[in-house]
Structure 1
Amino acid sequence: METPAYDDMPTPAQRALDTLAENAEDPAALDTLASSDVLVPVPDDAAAEEATDPSVVALPVLERPGNNPVVPVFTSEMTMADLLPSVSRYRLVPLGALASQWPADDLSLAIDGSSAHGLTLTSEGVRTLLARPTG
């Protein structure tokens, strides 16, 4: 009897992203995504305390010519390794909590970037669609 590899099974967050690709306003998918933990790469230049302090998250910002800067986050280690193989450290962060503290400036959020189920949101979209009360 063969059992499927767990690495090939989509996470609840990835299933939510697939649903949102078909219906961007699906409330259940938005709730699932917001309640999921995401992997946030730790920038190479982040100090050791920023990489381990649970109250501080150093956001990796990628500059894109002609577009707003973007922060990449990932729904699984496999997706992160496929899209950003150079990442050596990351933090696991609740997406809703990250969104509730998202800066007001023009900083986009890319969830799983250019993967088949990737989603990029503007700063306003992050705060409007994904922010959940912390507590």
Structure 2
Amino acid sequence: METPAHDHAETPARRALDALSVNTEDTAALAALASSEVLVPVPDDANQEATADPTTVALPVLEQPDGDPVVPVFTSEGELAELLPYVSRYRLVPLAALASQWPAEDLSLSIDAGSTHPLTLTSEGVRTLLARH
């Protein structure tokens, strides 16, 4: 899908992130987040074959300032466009499905990194908090 101008929709995932910023133990918010869909950026230089297969998702890995790898995902097109304006395509993926297939290596997941209530989870956090819901 192409990303239009900055649409900051109030999605269930966004509401869950807002709730988790107040109470990180909010199981209802974690369940809502896990059951929501997120936008996974597709780099413009991504292999066309990989982006055409609906059963696989190539994870965009960025390097954090400390050198640790992180996969950015977003709750809305506006959040995506604000942080990564050069990305014009994305895949809509259920977060729980992404979490259940999360790689074993030390790879963090960052949800809405540029927002007022971002959430970054370690590999273990992705698998234990999101995949179980």
- Separation of aligned partners in 2, 1:132 and 1:94: 13
**Residue 79 of structure 1 corresponds to which residue in structure 2?**
79
**Residue 4 of structure 1 corresponds to which residue in structure 2?**
none
**Residue 3 of structure 2 corresponds to which residue in structure 1?**
none
Residue 50 to residue 9, structure 1, CA distance change in 2 (3 Å):
closer
Higher relative contact order (CA 8 A, sep 6+): 2
**Residue 15 of structure 1 corresponds to which residue in structure 2?**
15
Q: State the TM-score, normalizing by the size of structure 2.
A: 0.89
1:11 Cα shift?
Answer: 0.9
- Separation of aligned partners in 1, 2:122 and 2:94: 18
**Residue 88 of structure 1 corresponds to which residue in structure 2?**
88
Residue 64 to residue 9, structure 1, CA distance change in 2 (3 Å):
closer
1:65 Cα shift?
Answer: 3.6
1:92 Cα shift?
Answer: 0.4
Deviation string, structure 1 residues 65-85 (Cα, Å, up to 9, x no partner)? 424200000000011111111
Tell me the matched-pair count: 127
- Matched residue of 2:63: which SS? coil
- Separation of aligned partners in 2, 1:8 and 1:131: 26
2:82–2:114 CA contact under 8 A, matched in 1:
no
Deviation string, structure 1 residues 19-52 (Cα, Å, up to 9, x no partner)? 0111111111001100111000012332112112
Q: Percent same amino acid among aligned pairs?
A: 72
> Cα RMSD (Å) of the superposition?
1.4
Choose 1 or 2 for highest CA Rg.
1
Question: Equivalent residues in 2 for 1:42-57 (5 A)?
Answer: 42-57=42-57
* Structure 1: gaps of 5 or more residues: 1-6
1:38–1:93 CA contact under 8 A, matched in 2:
yes
**Residue 31 of structure 2 corresponds to which residue in structure 1?**
31
Q: State the TM-score, normalizing by the size of structure 1.
A: 0.88
